[in-house]
Amino acid sequence: MSCNILIVDDAAFMRATLKDVMTKGGFEVVGEAVNGKEAIDKYKTLKPDIVTMDITMPEMDGLEALKAIVSLNADAKVIMVSAIGQQANVLQAVKTGAKDFIVKPFQPDRIIDALTKVAAM
Amino acid sequence: MKVEYVNPFIESAAEVLEEIANLKTERGSLKLKDANSPFRDVNAILGVIGQVHGQVIYGFDEPTAKSIVSRMMMGAEIIEFDEMARSALGELGNIISGKASVSLESAGYPIELSPPTLVMAQNVRISSMNIPMIVVPLESECGTMNIYVGLEESSD
């Protein structure tokens, strides 16, 4: 089964790291976005199966983008990948519809496990 | 300025450096930063708002910053601070501070962080707006990383 991913993170280093992990894990990265606004645009045009979403980003943060994406598609599969694992953030993300929450720094396996699980939902 | 605001950043920095750069560090002694002394050559600055507010700055000399970033990027040689290297250093500051924010939240000080700003210059002075800063060096085989924490409790 092919599974297309959109990576959203403002840090080029983190996008490259995630892309490397995902590609090695057999997932296809179809696009990258650097803020929440771009994430929404690319979600509409690329129609990815799964989105990985950073939270702290300039322009529009990941929680706002998550809300917008879920309102476009109630079944959207979004996994938060953020350094800010404070309880309030995690709760808000899950309530808004995020399927998982990965706290940076992460082990590559954590990413692959989450993608595999969410892809099967 | 309480030491309990500083410790989460130091502990988190040591843990994150070990995890993402495979780098063991040793903590040096804590000092009050002289307000007139310059910062290091490469600084990742994050603003803090919430129950406590101010700034946290991760400062390096250039060879140390390059060698830490190289370790974060699987040993790739860093010749220039290009977008990738700059974003790696910003992300290091972001991850350390994010982890510290979780400890601060459990200690009763919920905070929010700004995205990191990178300042690269020699003899740079960065004003902490009258909030005194504490500096703690973390020593490693890459050199010394300074962690500057200038936080004070918000009035309400």
pLDDT in tens, A71-108: 999 999 999 999 988 888 899 999 999 999 999 999 99
For tokens 């979600």, the residue is A43
B53, B101 Cβ separation under 8 angstroms: no
**Is residue A70 a contact partner of residue A42, using CB atoms and an 8 Å limit?**
no
Task: Count interface pairs A-B at CB distance under 8 A.
Answer: 59
Report pLDDT for B65. Answer: 96
How sure is the predictor about B156, in pLDDT bands with cuts at 50, 70 and 90?
A: low
Residue B54's H or E segment, with its range, is: strand B52-60
The verdict on A91 touching B (C-beta cutoff 8 Å) is no
Cβ proximity of A57 and A34 under 8 Å: yes
Minimal CA–CA distance to B72: which of B33, B44, B31? B44
B118: contact with A, CB 8 A cutoff: no
Res A1: pLDDT: 54
Amino acid (1-letter code) at residue A85? G
CB environment B46-83: b (16+ within 10 A), e (fewer): bebeebbbbbbbbbbeeebbbbbbbbbbeeeebeebee
Tell whether A92 lies on the interface with B, counting CB pairs under 8 A: no
How distant is the alpha carbon of residue B28 from its chain centre?
14
β pairing state of A50-53 and A78-82: parallel
Among B87, B104, B109, the strongest candidate for a mutation testing the A interface, having the largest count of A CBs within 10 A, is B87
Q: Tokens 């988190």 appear where?
A: B12
B95-123: average pLDDT: 92
What is the chain B residue with the closest CA to A35? B115
Residue B3 pLDDT grade (very low, low, confident, very high; cuts 50, 70, 90):
confident
Inter-chain touch A83–B98, beta carbons under 8 Å: yes
Q: How does residue B76 score in pLDDT terms, banded at 50, 70 and 90?
A: confident
Q: Do B83 and A12 touch (CB under 8 A)?
A: yes
ipTM over 0.95: no
Mean pLDDT of chain A: 95
Tell me how far CA of residue B20 lies from CA of A48, A49, A92, B13, B55, in angstroms: 28, 28, 27, 10, 23
Q: Residue A32's pLDDT is what?
A: 98
pLDDT number for residue B35: 84
Q: Could you report the per-residue pLDDT of B43-67, keeping only the tens digit for each?
A: 999 999 999 999 999 999 999 999 9
